[in-house]
């Protein structure tokens, strides 16, 4: 499992290449998206661009808008509508990130202080609302009711997924199925919508829209599983990133769920104490990581991620071979092999 | 000033009559709206209808959806689209209420425990997001890009207004103009949108849409000023409602702003201490109320409210006389004379 075994520098660079290729293929579009993002988070209320800018400038991979741009390109789209819609997707994602940090009371986001830590929960709730509304304004400017349908539905499902996650948090009896339902709703649905929009603006037939939806949904599930594995990975620690955030928050992710399913009575009592009762002690995280190693749960969670990645790749079968399609296929590998 | 002088029971009943008349005129529509609200806040994630239902069942006056229904009726609309859109308006309003309570860390909402007090801030943030997304889903089902434009814009302006309010909170130098800008954005814009939608579904000319927008905007400003006055009114206390919530939260509302503008140096030092520094002591609220009485700021704030009420009424000049128009005019008087 690449993600937890230290790699030599060259291997890590090669591993990032697929995303770079995709970024290069849509570079002009992405520059326009970034410009739209900066312009449209403006407000005479200066705290709004300040707070939103903090999150958006922090970077991240811009994976979701990239998917919209690339999907449109894969569908042969020649216009510019996809740029504004890609910005919408990023706004929706950013709004949910900001609200998530409030919900989780997180102090850090991508290694920098989170918006709520810097600006307070109050402003974070409201600026999230603003970005969300702004996303809908951008969609309305585009004018496609089909796009509006896809993204308003996705937004409602994301919120449902987040609430569902709340109810599984600190519940060590959470099933793998319940976990998958959370992941699908809170993460994969927006990946699916981001991809679908590319086919919609290009006016492609339903079969291509559906193929891209399938691709995005399964890529999104793989992405989230890998994220959840990385939260326990030794490699993360080596890169100076925090490890165990999910553990401290009592989040029931796949590596934990598998460890509970496979554990002895004594081990389950341990998981119950740390997850349900939040009764953490010094050394609990390393013990949890030991149990995961013993039951190979990180490795097997990565196998599950590869399964969804395979579905995503197969969904692209109906598109003819070209550099964008190849980059799309590579992005699945990148998602699974990434270290951040 | 009616709002702070105890009224005999009969007078109070007569005072409620205008709203009742309007409610009766659109009773069948309102029943359908309530049904839509209950149906569409459903989710397989049971915490969502539980939390949303708590707020929606708590009642309130359903003033905003009532405005949409009545505006459509005033425009001679015969269809049913306004019912779903009125539910959208109430969802957007409810979402902002839920988020407001998180932002203000309120324990009470309309005399009952607030959603955040009962279900936690986490769930409140997310269920607010859900209702907001659901509102957009309902609009998309309706399919009018004009309605979507009006409500997505209103939603962004509301969020801006709330952030603006945050920056004026605990700032005793806030101007009346800044206050008005907050009120317009956080409250009046949704009243305006609720009314406009009535003209849009009825397919009426721009002049009528604009008249209803003007009506709603100014009614909304009057409504919020009265709300802010009621927070300090003796009558509220007599009715068993809490008084001084805004004071304790350091909110810069019109009664306070006028008292500061009209106060002596010593009085301003008092306001600075209680509003800016949140350094409240026993007796500060009564002292604040004394200062408001001395400078007639509640009375004069009500005069300001009447000014906006008058603009609202005049805006209806181009509609011919009929019971709905009369009820619309009466609602302005109700808004200003109300005690709750």
Summarised one tens digit per residue, pLDDT across range B95-128 is 999 998 888 777 776 667 778 888 888 899 999 9
Per DSSP bridges, beta strands A108-109 and A112-113 are: antiparallel
The verdict on ipTM greater than 0.90 is no
Q: Taking all residues of chain B, what is their mean pLDDT, rounded to a whole number?
A: 89
Interface of chain B toward chain A, CB-CB under 8 angstroms: 43-45, 47-48, 95-96, 99, 102-104, 121-123, 125-130, 132-134, 136-137, 139-140, 143, 145, 148-149, 152-153, 155-156, 158-160, 162-164, 166-167
pLDDT band, residue A7 (cuts 50/70/90): very low
Query: Contact A160/B103, CB-based, under 8 Å?
Result: no
| pLDDT > 50? residue A2 | no
CA nearest neighbour of A29 among A104, A81, A103: A81
Looking up residue A108, the CATH number of its domain turns out to be 1.10.600.10
Residue range B19-44, pLDDT digits in tens: 788 888 999 999 999 999 999 998 98
Instruction: Kindly state the tokens that stand for B313.
Output: 């009424």
Q: Is the pLDDT of residue B53 over 80?
A: yes
Q: What is the pLDDT of residues B282-317, one digit of tens each?
A: 999 999 999 999 999 999 999 999 999 999 999 999
User: Sorting pLDDT into bands at 50, 70 and 90, what band is A17?
Assistant: low
A21-30, B66-75, B175-184: range with lowest mean pLDDT: A21-30
How far apart (Å, rounded) are the C-alpha atoms in residues B21 and B34? 18
Distance CA B68, CA A172 (A): 47
Per the CB < 8 Å rule, is B163 touching A47? yes
Helices B81-104 & B63-74 angle (0-180, nearest 10) = 150
Residue A5 has pLDDT above 60, yes or no: no
B105: nearest CA partner in chain A: A122
Residue B7, domain member (yes or no): no
Q: Is residue B6, in this structure, part of any structural domain at all?
A: no
Can you give the pTM of this predicted structure? 0.87
Select the residue of A44, A122, A163 nearest B166 (Cβ to Cβ).
A122
- What does the pLDDT average to over B227-255? 86
Alpha helices in B41-114 (DSSP H): 47-57, 63-74, 81-104
Question: How far is it, in rounded angstroms, from Cα A28 to Cα B242?
Answer: 57
* Token pair in block for residue B121: 């801030």
Q: What is the CA radius of gyration of chain A?
A: 20
Residues in chain A: 340
C-alpha B219/C-alpha B188 separation (Å) is 7
Return all residues near A138 (Cβ < 8 A) that are at least 6 apart.
A36, A40, A84, A85, A87, A88, A91
Question: Which of A95, A145, A160 is nearest residue B143 as measured by Cβ atoms?
Answer: A145
pLDDT at B239: 66
Look at residue B10 and tell me whether its pLDDT is greater than 80: no
Task: Compute the distance between CA of residue A276 and CA of residue A255 in angstroms, rounded to an integer.
Answer: 16
pLDDT of amino acid B59: 64
Q: Does A3 fall in a domain?
A: no
Which one is predicted more confidently, A340 or A199?
A199
Minimal CA separation from A87 to chain B, in Å: 16
Q: Is the pLDDT of residue A1 over 60?
A: no
- A328 falls in which pLDDT band (50, 70, 90)? very high
Residue A1 placed within a domain: no
Chain A residues with a Cβ under 8 Å from any Cβ in chain B: 43-45, 47-48, 95-96, 99, 102-104, 121-123, 125-130, 132-134, 136-137, 139-140, 143, 145, 148-149, 152-153, 155-156, 158-160, 162-164, 166-167
Residues of A in Cβ contact (< 8 Å) with B181: none
**pLDDT at site A239:** 66
Strand spans (E) along A134-236: none
| A-B contacts at Cβ under 8 angstroms | 140
Whether residues A129 and B167 touch (CB distance < 8 A) is answered with no
Q: B134: which chain A residues are within 8 Å (Cβ-Cβ)?
A: 156
Q: Do B45 and A152 touch (CB under 8 A)?
A: no
Considering the domain boundaries, does residue A123 fall inside one? yes
In chain A, the number of structural domains is 1
pLDDT in tens, A187-237: 999 999 999 999 999 999 999 999 999 999 999 999 999 999 999 987 776
Token code pair at residue A271: 């998981």
CA distance A45 to chain B (A): 6
Which domain range does residue B128 map to?
A: 13-337
Please calculate the CA angle A316-A84-B186 and round it to the nearest 5 degrees.
Answer: 130
Question: How much is the pLDDT for A8?
Answer: 37
Q: Give, in order, the Cα–Cα distances in Å from A136 to each of A84, A95, B153.
A: 11, 12, 8
Q: Kindly report the nearest CA distance between residue A134 and chain B, in angstroms.
A: 6
Q: Is residue A129 part of a domain?
A: yes
pLDDT, average across residues B180-185: 96
Question: CB-CB: which of A104, A129, A156 is closest to B130?
Answer: A156
pLDDT tens digits, one per residue of A229-262: 999 987 776 666 678 889 999 999 999 999 999 9
**pLDDT of B8 above 50:** no
């Amino acid at each position: 499992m690449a993600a937890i075994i230290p790699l030599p520098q060259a291997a890590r660079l090669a591993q990032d290449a697929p995303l770079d290729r995709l970024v290069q293929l849509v570079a002009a579009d992405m520059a326009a998206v970034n410009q739209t993002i900066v312009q449209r988070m403006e407000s005479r209320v200066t705290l709004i661009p300040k707070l939103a800018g903090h999150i958006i400038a922090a970077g991240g991979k811009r994976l979701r808008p990239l998917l919209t741009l690339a999907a449109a390109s894969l569908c042969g789209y020649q216009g510019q509508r996809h740029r504004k819609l890609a910005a919408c997707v990023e706004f929706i994602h950013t709004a949910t990130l900001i609200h998530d940090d409030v919900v989780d009371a997180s102090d850090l986001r991508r290694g920098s202080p989170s918006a709520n830590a810097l600006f307070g929960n109050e402003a974070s709730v409201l600026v999230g609302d603003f970005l969300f509304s702004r996303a809908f304004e951008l969609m309305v400017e585009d004018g496609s009711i089909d796009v509006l349908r896809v993204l308003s539905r996705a937004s409602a499902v994301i919120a449902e997924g987040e609430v569902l996650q709340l109810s599984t948090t600190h519940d060590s009896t959470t099933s793998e199925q319940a976990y998958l339902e959370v992941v699908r709703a809170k993460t994969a649905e927006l990946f699916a919508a981001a991809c679908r929009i590319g086919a919609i603006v290009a006016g492609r037939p339903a079969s291509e829209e559906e193929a891209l939806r399938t691709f995005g949904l399964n890529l999104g599930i793989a992405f989230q599983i890998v994220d959840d594995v990385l939260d326990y990975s030794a490699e993360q620690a080596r890169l100076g990133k925090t490890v165990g955030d999910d553990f401290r928050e009592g989040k029931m992710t796949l590596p934990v769920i598998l460890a509970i399913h496979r554990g002895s009575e004594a081990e389950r009592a341990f998981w119950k104490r740390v997850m349900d009762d939040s009764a953490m002690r010094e050394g609990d995280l390393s013990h949890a990581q030991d149990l995961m190693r013993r039951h190979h749960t990180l490795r097997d969670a990565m196998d599950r991620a590869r399964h969804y990645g395979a579905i995503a790749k197969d969904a692209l079968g109906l598109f003819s071979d070209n550099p964008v399609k190849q980059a799309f296929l590579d992005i699945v590998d990148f998602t699974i092999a990434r270290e951040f």
